[in-house]
Structure 1
């Protein structure tokens, strides 16, 4: 077997592979002998089929499969051994006719080569934002915690903020009991002042903003004109806010994590600033990527990529469609190349232990959101194992670790101009940037 490579232009090449009969005949004979032993052909006893018949029946197909296997392996090994950085996959050059009985077979494969370019992060300059958390925002979190960890308290009559447990009769037919939050109703006047045992008859149009809300609440399809519902009040409750004391601190942050209201508020402020810092970090990445795309110029093997898309994507029937698709994916492709260049220059790798650590951090944070600050080790290990066994989730966590490493490289190398802003100012800035990104 002989392999050569001819460069057609700076970013394209053709790999030519010449296969001799000696390269595949032994394997072909072995496969045909196996066919002869197992073939079940009418008129012949098992294992007694003449080899001439087997060759006539299966020979060309076996040669085709064997040669194709050899070619795929040869192309892959050549790319790896020559350390070629390619885009897409090799495309076989179609031949009108192949004489499979010839002593020598020659095949061509087109490849697209990744462009050579340099990335200089020191020339990138972006703004970064430090969000200052004000006392009124801390108070919102405190109010949320006291509400979330509060307890149900019975009320004598319906009032603002009440939560009602009701039996339901829809158009005269009994339905499943449900709960109604007074604050969620468009108009709660029909319920105000009612007590346990009272009956309220209304049309869904009068109490819900949309038919979707009515449908979701009742558990049955509701038409535009609404339906008549009879509610019988079984319970009238409200949520009594939790007191701001050690019990609340322990429920929110774990036993003994904070020991005073001052420390509680300070921890809320710190965690809020850390959360906003993560959002600001995302914006650093977005802004650096935007500048790199704008300032790092290189050509792509457009002609090859257009052919490759046509060849590899069944939904693309013409080169015109492929060209349109390439235009859509070009920005993403360019950044993948830039990202790979930066990662290679900085030896960025992600190992399984780092992915596991990311899973632990993500799961711990998620459990914390639901008020679970402690969990048995065995249960935690089961949750982590479940997450890591899900390939999609593993890939997501792996890319998150990779992204965090890229962020660290950006922070170390690009020029960051820090700007202190309020939360509202930060939201306005991010909203405007996202709008610009969507329009780009």
Structure 2
């Protein structure tokens, strides 16, 4: 064996190679043929120059290519021999080459760490109780009826603003220095109270106002507000309420329910409650899973390959870029955002990498795999939740990468089920 393996840390290996006798004959022949196909030599068509002429003209480069082929071949043979689970590309260092005689070099490479999860039997977690109220079902009904609702002014002028009502009002913001920016001004603005459309405190400050009332609302802009000059800024708003409006919804009849795809009002109520329960159950499970991962990561310390963290950071950046651009950010604004929150993204990437490695280790420990039966069951579940045909959903997941991601998610889901059998979940 012409190499030795040294552990630098939990996820980095150094493979030191030393060849006292070096014969690059085969590699040089291969490199000459590869070079022959690429070069243009006067008097010959491309790729048709004699091999000996190519070797004579490009000798040093060909020898360098041959050495590179040799180094790569020996490295991958050593990786296979040692059964190393390599992450990313190796970094070759300390290359000492005596032409045609000997060569030595080191290959630094990151590998997947060996993750051994400590005993979980004494860990305890609490899962949120899932409940669906009649008010939540009613809100879904209003969403369906929204397009058919009429906005009308409330005739009773003694009516006070409250959540769910709409205000038509004028407003003007004034900063501490007395300036009144145009972007803090509005006339006959329509706002649903409780919608959260304005900064925290604004809508609450309007509750209780009547038509014709004027009021000064003192507020402080959030520290993370998207306009730099207004972050943590103290501002007062002069508000004049012009009208109070309300949405009048039509009666939700069996006929309307059928137009929305349900058999009846009762069928709507039943299916809506089932969907809300499923959504809340999924949210409660996701929250529990997050708490389990946080605990397992704090209980089990191990190093993670920087290559995996970098890959995950890039994925997070691409995903967030799409979201920011949907919100109106341009490239410069997005880069400024990434620059400011780079530390948070790295921390999140490390957490996600560690989570994946722990779940993979536990999946192997519990002998968990995602089967075709699991895939078909998940497709049917997603079809039911989305209201789409099963074949439509299956077609979407037919692409290799999309199906692979779903199978990975199924394996994780089954692993969490196994974890729940070991830990205590109240």
Determine if the TM-score, normalized by the shorter chain, exceeds 0.5: yes
Deviation at 1:278, TM superposition (A): 0.9
Deviation at 1:414, TM superposition (A): 1.5
Q: 1:264 to 1:159 in 2, by over 3 A?
A: closer
Kept in 1: contact 2:31–2:66 (CA 8 A):
no
Alignment of 1:336-355 (within 5 A): 336-350=356-370, 354-355=374-375
Matched, 1:159 2:155: no
Matched, 1:284 2:288: yes
Q: 1:63 to 1:83 in 2, by over 3 A?
A: same
C-alpha distance in 2, partners of 1:78/1:9? Answer: 19
Unaligned runs of 5+ in 2: 155-164, 171-184, 192-196, 198-246, 315-342
Residue equivalent to 2:417: 408
**3-state secondary structure, aligned to 1:347:** coil
Unaligned runs of 5+ in 1: 162-182, 189-203, 214-237, 314-322, 369-373, 418-440
C-alpha distance in 1, partners of 2:18/2:359? Answer: 37
Matched, 1:385 2:400: no
Q: Deviations over 1:300-331 (max 9, x none)?
A: 38xx959x98xxx9xxxxxxxxx999877544
Deviation at 1:402, TM superposition (A): 3.1
Higher RCO (C-alpha under 8 Å, 6+ residues apart):
1
C-alpha distance in 1, partners of 2:70/2:374? Answer: 38
Matched, 1:243 2:242: no
C-alpha distance in 2, partners of 1:325/1:93? Answer: 31
**3-state secondary structure, aligned to 2:152:** coil
Alignment of 1:11-50 (within 5 A): 12-18=12-18, 21-22=22-23, 24-33=24-33, 35-36=35-36, 39-42=39-42, 49=49
Is 264-273 or 47-56 further displaced after alignment?
A: 47-56
Cα-Cα RMSD: 4.5
Kept in 2: contact 1:151–1:242 (CA 8 A):
no
C-alpha distance in 2, partners of 1:394/1:70? Answer: 38
C-alpha distance in 2, partners of 1:47/1:138? Answer: 74
**3-state secondary structure, aligned to 2:15:** strand
Kept in 1: contact 2:4–2:17 (CA 8 A):
yes
Deviation at 1:15, TM superposition (A): 1.3
Alignment of 1:84-163 (within 5 A): 84-85=84-85, 89-95=89-95, 98-99=97-98, 101-112=99-110, 114-115=113-114, 117-145=116-144, 147=145, 159-160=152-153
Q: 1:151 to 1:411 in 2, by over 3 A?
A: same
Q: Deviations over 1:155-194 (max 9, x none)?
A: xxx8349xxxxxxxxxxxxxxxxxxxxx877449xxxxxx
TM-score calculated relative to the size of structure 2: 0.58
C-alpha distance in 1, partners of 2:12/2:30? Answer: 38
Alignment of 1:413-428 (within 5 A): 413-417=422-426
C-alpha distance in 1, partners of 2:273/2:5? Answer: 62
Kept in 1: contact 2:55–2:62 (CA 8 A):
no
